[in-house]
Structure 1
Amino acid sequence: MTQWTPFAHAGVYAFNVASLKKNWGHLHRGDCEPLPQDAAVLQAWVLFHNGEFHKAFEAGLKSGGDGITLANKAACIYANYLESREKTRLDLFMQVAERAEAQQAENPGNANAWYWQAYALGRYSQGISVAKALAQGLGSKVKNALEHTIALTPQHADAHVALGAFHAEVIDKVGALIGAMTYGAKKNIGLAHFKEALRLNPGSAIAMIEYANGLVMLEGDKRMKEATRLYEQAAASEPLDAMERLDVDMARVELQE
């Protein structure tokens, strides 16, 4: 496998099994992933939260079962934030989508099997262009998978964020009329999902960032001041683990540009 780019803040986060268990509720408020009962999977999550994404990915794959969800999350977060090679990024997202679809077949009640498929296909779509992805039918897959995630786990804040982003991206690319008629994308629904995500997980930097982006896509420059405020809140957040650090760093970089 191609070597993965290391997390820039290696060693800053030093979870062990005990501290991870203590902080699990906070760390997984966004994705509602249940605390693993398998000791090997739990240890692999320690690697993930400390920023050792490649080791976490490999350990998750090796463990199988619930470890596949960890492998998918590690691959998605790595590909989204740290992988600079476009082909590698897109390949990782498609591999996640395939693994997640296989998970769904084995365990259709696993909300994160649906969520990570949607996340991976959504990021893949952004990589090849949303318009091209919509033409390939990927938009419907993303929307259906996210709606399924929320039907299984209504408090899944990250799925609400992603579904809000879906509505915003589609309307931004094809317009409100075609977006509504062809893809079921509506401004009021998108905004409602962003607000629900922040209600469920008020400290989420990524929810603030995506909401800010969605506001500008859906309502233009008149919401720029509010969007900037959301970015400032995200940038001022205190990250608890490596993934949250990547979100906060992204907000800080965006504010500087």
Structure 2
Amino acid sequence: MARWTACPFVGEYPLDAEQVRALWDRLHRGDAEPLPADAAVLQAWVLYHRGEFEAAEQAGLAAGGSGITVANKAAAMQATHLEAAEPVRLDMFLYVAQRAQAQSEAQPDNPNAWYWHAYALGRYSQGVSVAKALAQGLGGKVRESLERTIALQPAHADAHIALGSFHAEVIDKVGALIGGMTYGAKREVGLRMFEEGLRLNPRSAIGMIECAGGLLMLDGQESAQRAHQLYAQAAASEPLDAVERLNVERARHELHD
């Protein structure tokens, strides 16, 4: 594979291991990833928070163990934010999903093994069309992995919001009746997941963005004002690392699109 497109904010957040350790609770409130004891894994996370995603993936894979999580997250963020070629993006998401599935089999009690499996499959599904992905049975796998994540780690804010997005996207694409009967998607569950995710991590720019999009899918213009408020709040956030900066810039784009 060709070299990855560089994050435009590399160099703006020159964090080191001690700084990442000090900021860990704030940076990882969304995914509830525990602070690694392995120095090599921590260094992979340092690269990730700087926005050096390709180097972070390589370092995480080399470290092994919990380093697989940072490798998966780095590749997922690269595909989400920076990879312009759609076929490459989809391949990256599939690769992350496969790697996360293998990790979940080796570490079944690791919440983020399940989460990154769900995240990557969910983004892949959006790329090929949610309706097509549902027909292929991918929706059930996404939902099951997110529910497993939350069962293992109830404080996983990102999983709550992703599960809310699952319910919203299914209803948006196939309707409330079919969505509920065939896929178990329910508006009230989606709204509850969004609320809980924001309660757990109220300063998350990406959480606000995903909730805004989900509210618009569930309620349309009735939620337009609330969605605008969430986008504005996300756009005004003060990012602590390159990843948060990518999300803030995305919120600013949504706000002025």
* Shared fold per TM-score greater than 0.5: yes
Partner AA of 2:153 in structure 1: T
Q: Which amino acid aligns with 2:23?
A: N
| Aligned residue in 1 for 2:24 | 24
Output the amino acid matched with 1:112: N
The Cα of 1:222 is off from its aligned counterpart by: 1.5
Q: Which runs of 4+ in 1 moved over 3 A?
A: none
Alignment correspondent of 2:54? 54
Query: Match for 1:175: what amino acid?
Result: G
The answer for the alignment partner of 1:239 in structure 2 is 239
**AA paired with 2:30?**
G
**Which whole-Å CA distance do the structure 2 matches of 1:104 and 1:214 have between them?**
27
Q: Which residue of 2 aligns with 1:111?
A: 111
Deviation readout 1:172-207 (Å, 9 max, x if unpaired): 000000000000000000000000001000000111
Q: What residue in structure 1 maps to residue 250 of structure 2?
A: 250
In 2, the alpha carbon distance for the partners of 1:42 and 1:93 equals: 24
Superposed displacement of residue 74, structure 1: 0.1
CA RMSD of aligned residues (A): 0.6
Alpha-carbon shift at residue 214 of structure 1 (Å): 0.9
CA positional deviation for 1:256: 1.6
Separation of aligned partners in 2, 1:226 and 1:18 = 38
CA shift at 1:128, angstroms? 0.3
Secondary structure at the aligned position of 2:2 is classed as coil
Equivalent residue, structure 1, for 2:219? 219
- Secondary structure at the counterpart of residue 15 of structure 1: coil
- Between the aligned partners of 1:163 and 1:78, the Cα distance in structure 2 is 22
1:121 aligns with 121
Q: Which residue of 2 aligns with 1:180?
A: 180
Partner residue of 2:193?
A: 193
Equivalent pairs counted in the alignment come to 257
The C-alpha deviation readout for 1:70-102, integer Å capped at 9, x for no partner, is: 000000011000000111111111011111111
Describe the superposition over 1:32-54 as per-residue Cα deviations: whole angstroms up to 9, x where unpaired.
00111111111111000001010
Q: Measure the CA separation in 1 of the matches of 2:112 and 2:223.
A: 32
Q: Report the Cα offset of residue 14 of structure 1.
A: 1.1
Do residues 230 (structure 1) and 230 (structure 2) align?
Answer: yes
In 2: Cα distance, 1:97 partner to 1:194 partner: 23
Aligned partners of 1:196, 1:77: CA distance in 2, in Å? 23
Aligned-pair distance for 1:9?
1.4
* 2-structure distance, mates of 1:12, 1:151: 37
For the residues of structure 2 that align with 1:116 and 1:146, how far apart are their CA atoms?
A: 9
- Unmatched runs of 5 consecutive residues or more in structure 1: none
Supply the distance in 1 between the matched residues of 2:225 and 2:202 (Cα, whole angstroms).
19
Correspondence list, 1:15-164, <5 A: 15-164=15-164
Amino acid at match of 1:239: P
The whole-number CA distance in structure 1 between the counterparts of 2:177 and 2:217 is 15
Supply the distance in 2 between the matched residues of 1:2 and 1:87 (Cα, whole angstroms): 13
1:197-253 per-residue CA deviation (whole Å, 9 max, x = no partner) reads 010000001111111111111011111111111100000000111111111000101
Counterparts of 2:5 and 2:121 in 1: how far apart (Å)?
22
Letter in 2 for 1:217: M
Offset, 1:105:
1.1
1:10 aligns with 2:10: yes
SS at match of 2:32: coil
